[in-house]
């Protein structure tokens, strides 16, 4: 019976209940969107941090390569300095041998000169 006040009240209560459910679903959907947006922002933050770490790792790798190259250059320079020092020592030894030979010769000349004057 359409004019029945009990029926109208049931219909109004059902409509109100439907509106309340619809509002709850709307609120849940809004909360789900907010959570999704937060997750998206968190993922973007993680992605940016990963990119920053990748760039830092690349810079560290490049710095390591530069340091390795500098160490190799220093090693080569040290080897060259050792060789130059060894050559200088050989030359000094040869000069000392020449000086010693000249002293012997001078001593011999003096000995010979002393013998001639006696």
pLDDT tens, residue order, the chain (118 aa): 456 777 788 888 888 889 999 999 999 999 999 999 999 999 999 999 999 999 999 999 999 999 999 999 999 999 999 999 999 999 999 999 999 999 999 999 999 988 777 6
CA distances from 49 to 2, 37, 43, 56, 66 (A): 66, 18, 10, 10, 25
H or E, element range at 1: none
Reported pTM: 0.53
Predicted confidence at residue 13, as pLDDT, reads 86
């Amino acid at each position: 019976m359409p004019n029945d006040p009990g029926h109208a009240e049931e219909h109004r209560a059902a409509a109100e209940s439907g509106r309340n459910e619809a509002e709850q679903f709307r609120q849940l959907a809004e909360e789900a969107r907010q959570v999704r947006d937060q997750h998206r922002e968190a993922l973007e933050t993680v992605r940016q941090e990963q990119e920053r770490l990748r760039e830092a790792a690349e810079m560290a790798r490049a710095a390591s390569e530069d340091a390795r190259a500098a160490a190799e250059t220093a090693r080569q320079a040290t080897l060259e300095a050792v060789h130059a020092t060894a050559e200088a020592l050989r030359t000094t030894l040869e000069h000392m041998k020449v000086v010693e030979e000249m002293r012997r010769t001078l001593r011999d000349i003096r000995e010979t000169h002393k013998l001639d004057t006696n």
